[in-house]
Structure 1
Amino acid sequence: MVDFHDLAVIKADFTAFVNVMHCMVGVFLWDFFTTLDFEWDYITGRRKFRWTLLLYSFSRLGALGTAICNIVGFNVTHEINCQQWVLWSLITAYTSVTCASALITLRVVAIWGRNYLVVGLTIGLWLTNLGFLLFGIVMVCLEDRSPWSPIAGRCILENTVHARDNVAMTVATDIAQLIIMLVGLLRSRNTKYGMFRHLYVQGLIWLVAVTIGELPAVIFISLNLNDPWNMMFQNLALFTMEIFATRMYRSLANYNMGFDKDSHGPESHDGGPWRVTV
């Protein structure tokens, strides 16, 4: 049986983790730079500014900041302040996660027609998740979890299992909100038509994406095999959430502007009763 606490095994697992990280950063950077035309449309005035664009932008920029921190931190050849590196990595990652989750929350509220019970539940879930993430940042500030190792020539990430509650809460929040969203769409009885069909399909795809992209991170950090395995799929969870949340946002924005020409049904692209904007 493999001894996951053996130094040779940890070294091999860490190498695997760095390779997975680079792959996920590459996927994110491809998505980021190939979709900049969306922001350009706002800069040039082709699209009308909505305040939710700020959440969209901060989610993307936060993920970009995390990607940069990962590339720098895991490829340095000289000593750095590991504690500050970990802190900024968490701040950028949690900013991206929080804003992506907020986009989903607003969509749920809009679909349910601002139902007071749903508004209270979804915002409560979002605030609880935010509280967990802020607590995680505070704990990193209070504890030195990442000393520099002259022998390894890198920062040594320790006690990564402490992020378990944050990861689990984020995944639970995403799944709960997506289920509430799908229930709201099914209640409308219009999922066969244009706008609601569009939202329903997006919701199903997003639920599958969350299951595939985020559950591995929860499973392995709960198993706590070793620090590399605890972190192995956290980048997958982060970038999956950011990519799908922002793609859903862009897709709905394009639909409302009439860029999606495949719709059929009673909705109107110029603001009829079937219009949903977030």
Structure 2
Amino acid sequence: MPDWNSVEELTLDGAIFLKVMHALAGLYFWEVVTSLDYDWSFLTGKRRFHYPAVFYFLNRYCLLFTMIGILIALDTTVEINCQSLYTFNQIMGQAASGLASINLSIRTIALWSHDKRIIVPLVIIILGHWSLILQGVLLTAIWVPGQGCVVSGTNNTILAATFIYSMAFDLVVLLLSMYKLVLGVRGGRSQLMSLLFKDGLVYFFIAFFSNLLAVVFILLNLNAIMSVIFNVPAAIFSTIVACRAVRRLTNFANKGPEVFVSTGNSFRAAPMGTTPTVPVGSRGTMKSNKGEGVHVQMQTFTMADDHLSEYDAGQKTQIPDLETGDVEISREFKRPPY
């Protein structure tokens, strides 16, 4: 068992920390560059700017500035104020984790049609999360000649509480979304619902296990460096999957409308450009006229991509606007006369 606080071990851990941070910075810079077309579409007016985009941009660029600050702290050869720089990095990095959870919370609120029974608890949870994020200085860093900025101490109690809170928060958001997508909608599942379901699961597992790894090393408290080495990966992976979920939803809206086909007791989604089919044994509306044979009528509804709704037998389930998070409740579709 090594002496985690020996000079040799701290030097080794510092070298590992340096390489891990550079690798993660490269990963995140690649993620930002490859998705700049989405950001640029807002600046050029190709996409309408709505309030959910504010949290998306804050999430992405808070973490971007954090990674730049970390690289400065690790690579500078000129003496700087390490404590101020690490305080900035800590607050911005923790804010990125909090904003990632907010991005998924907004989608969950929209799925529940802005139900106050969902909004109020989630807002309270978000405020509790940010009360931990903004606790203040949790890291102590000093300048060491020949080494640069070195982390010399951490407040492990608050750090662990913040990551555990994030894990619980993500679990609540996942359960609310899954309940609405699985139990709250009857009939066939549309492509949009399948996308929301899969993205929710992927986000939860990636964010949960990255936060869990950070919590384990914080609680082990091996030394100051090992206690924070997995904090940055947790923030990066949470931000990447949350922002990708936002972009995938918006891009889904641009693929075009869906056709919902009546098959008796329910409506089934079919993408535009394909031929809807009625399963064998399903009931349709049939009319028989002399000299005209038997005619089968099939009711179809074309849903615009900015406000999607899904229907079952006599009941309408609202699907949120993919960009604004608003729900269209006044839209009606009339059946053709028989």
Q: What is the rounded CA distance, in whole Å, between the counterparts of 1:271 and 1:260 in structure 2?
A: 10
Whether the aligned pair in 2 keeps the contact of 1:149 and 1:156 (CA below 8 Å) is no
Q: What is the rounded CA distance, in whole Å, between the counterparts of 2:80 and 2:189 in structure 1?
A: 56
Equivalent position of 2:140 in the other structure? 145
Q: What is the rounded CA distance, in whole Å, between the counterparts of 1:73 and 1:198 in structure 2?
A: 40
Measure how far apart 1:168 and its partner are.
2.2
Measure how far apart 1:216 and its partner are.
0.5
Q: What is the rounded CA distance, in whole Å, between the counterparts of 2:91 and 2:216 in structure 1?
A: 23
Equivalent position of 1:265 in the other structure? 269
Equivalent position of 2:209 in the other structure? 212
Once the two structures are superposed, the pairs formed by residues 99-248 of structure 1 within 5 Å of their partners are 99-135=99-135, 137=136, 139-140=137-138, 145-150=140-145, 152-162=147-157, 163-189=159-185, 192-248=189-245
Q: Deviations over 1:159-186 (max 9, x none)?
A: 2525222222223222322232222222
TM-score, normalised to structure 2's length?
0.74
Equivalent position of 2:22 in the other structure? 22
Q: What is the rounded CA distance, in whole Å, between the counterparts of 1:228 and 1:259 in structure 2?
A: 50
- 1 or 2 for the larger relative contact order (CA 8 Å, sep ≥6)? 1
Q: What is the rounded CA distance, in whole Å, between the counterparts of 1:149 and 1:158 in structure 2?
A: 14
The structure with the largest strand share of the pair is 2
- SS of the counterpart of 1:177? helix
List structure 1 segments (4+ residues) > 4 angstroms apart after TM superposition.
none
Q: Unaligned 5+ residue runs, structure 1?
A: none
Q: Unaligned 5+ residue runs, structure 2?
A: 261-267, 271-302, 311-318, 326-338
State the percentage of identical aligned residues: 24
TM-score, normalised to structure 1's length?
0.89
Q: Deviations over 1:46-66 (max 9, x none)?
A: 212212111111111101100
Whether the aligned pair in 2 keeps the contact of 1:112 and 1:118 (CA below 8 Å) is yes
Gap change, CA 1:77 and 1:214, over 3 Å in 2: same
The structure with the largest helix share of the pair is 1
Measure how far apart 1:225 and its partner are.
1.3
Q: What is the rounded CA distance, in whole Å, between the counterparts of 1:221 and 1:203 in structure 2?
A: 27
Whether the aligned pair in 2 keeps the contact of 1:17 and 1:231 (CA below 8 Å) is no
* Cα RMSD for the two superposed structures: 2.3
Measure how far apart 1:90 and its partner are.
1.9
Q: What is the rounded CA distance, in whole Å, between the counterparts of 1:36 and 1:251 in structure 2?
A: 14
Letter aligned with residue 241 of structure 2: F
Gap change, CA 1:272 and 1:20, over 3 Å in 2: same
Aligned residues: 272
Measure how far apart 1:268 and its partner are.
4.6
